[in-house]
Amino acid sequence: MTVRALPRHEAERLEAFVRGVTWSELWSHRDEPLDTARFDELVARRLDGEPLAYITGSTGFYGLEIVCGPGVLVPRPETEVLVDVALGLLADIASPTVIDIGTGTGCIALAIATKRPDATVFATESSGAAWLWAERNLADSGVRLVLGDLDDGCPDADLVVANPPYVELGAELPPDVLREPAEALFAGERGLDVIDRIIERLPRHGAVALEIGTPEQASYVASRLPGARIRDDLTVRPRVVSAPCR
Ligand code: GLN
């Protein structure tokens, strides 16, 4: 489950969007007239279940502004932990090769490439709709975007990183999450279908960091990857499993 934002905070984001300023600039623009009709229209869309980031067209991730909209998973704050773990695993490797499987908006690949300009980063995506968002976010980043399944078309890498779909089929999700692409969320009865397929691809790579959704998934993945370590997110739920692959 994703970390939920507060309604007040979301309303401020929408107000800043209508005013054409950033959230931190909002307080110095409050005495200027607000287009309340437009604001009300956006609030109504949000109440109707449209994700905030789809309405504003972007969201913050790891200090970057990531464009997004229908057809792609919205970057989540808890996924920043995955980037932290990935950067930690790369710390002692000069000019590493990294693959971000199922990149979605490209946020993870972009964060890694930004922090490690010496890295060669591949980002794969099998959804054409998501690929178009990744193409925008990754333009001029040096990240190589590959349209395809898992690590197809990528060389052996020092690190494979992924925030795969891991929600169990039939799990109840908030209405805004259900507006996001099902193929980015759901992965079979236990939410493990894509994770299992990724694990099969790992032997030719150096290490892996995977986002997972439940303690049971963390234990399962750790049981399949010798030497695995589990990292919690800021809500103290297990969120990332990392391990050497060979
Ligand atoms: N963390 C997301 C949610 O529960 C799911 C993202 C994913 O499956 N990778 O909303």
Pick the CATH number of 77-244 from 3.40.50.1000, 3.40.190.10, 3.40.50.150, 3.20.20.20: 3.40.50.150
Q: Which residues line ligand 1 (CB under 6 A)?
A: 1-2, 76, 163-167, 177, 185, 211
- State the average pLDDT over residues 179-191: 97
pLDDT at 37 exceeding the cut of 80: yes
Taking the CA of residue 213 as reference, the ligand 1 atom at the shortest distance is 1
Question: Within 13 A of 118's CA, how many CA atoms are on the CB side?
Answer: 8
pLDDT digit string, tens, across residues 169-182? 999 999 999 999 99
pLDDT at 207 exceeding the cut of 80: yes
Report domain extents, the chain.
Answer: 8-67, 77-244
For residue 64, what pLDDT is reported? 97
pLDDT digit string, tens, across residues 75-86? 999 999 999 999
Q: Give the bridge partners for 232, in sequence order.
A: 238
CB-based contacts of 147: which residues, under 8 Å, 6+ apart? 124, 125, 126, 128, 131
- State the average pLDDT over residues 147-157: 97
CB 95 within 8 A of CB 70: no
CATH entry 3.40.640.10 includes domain 8-67: no
Residue closest via CA to ligand 1's atom 6 equals: 185
Beta-sheet pairing, 120-125 with 97-101: parallel
For residue 195, what pLDDT is reported? 98
Write out the DSSP string of 15-49. Answer: HHHHHTS-GGGGGGSTTS---HHHHHHHHHHHHTT
> Model's pTM, two decimal places?
0.95
For residue 100, what pLDDT is reported? 98
* 159, two tokens: 């690190």
**3-class DSSP assignment, residue 218:** helix
* 21, two tokens: 């300023």
pLDDT class for 1, splitting at 50, 70, 90? Answer: very low
Distance, CA 33 to ligand 1 centroid (Å)? 38
* 79, two tokens: 């996924």
Tell me the C-alpha distance between 30 and 43, whole Å.
18
Distance, CA 35 to ligand 1 centroid (Å)? 34
Distance, CA 134 to ligand 1 centroid (Å)? 18
Taking the CA of residue 174 as reference, the ligand 1 atom at the shortest distance is 10
For residue 118, what pLDDT is reported? 98
Distance, CA 1 to ligand 1 centroid (Å)? 6
- State the average pLDDT over residues 195-201: 98
- State the average pLDDT over residues 69-95: 97
pLDDT class for 6, splitting at 50, 70, 90? Answer: confident
pLDDT digit string, tens, across residues 153-163? 999 999 999 99
Residue closest via CA to ligand 1's atom 9 equals: 165
Counting residues of the chain whose pLDDT is more than 90, the rounded percentage is 96
Q: Where would I find the beta strands (DSSP E) of the chain?
A: 58-61, 64-67, 97-101, 120-125, 144-147, 159-162, 207-211, 229-232, 238-244
Q: Is 20 left (phi over 0), alpha (psi -120 to 50) or beta?
A: left
Pocket probe for ligand 1: among 52, 61, 76, 80, the residue whose CB has the most ligand atoms within 8 Å is: 76
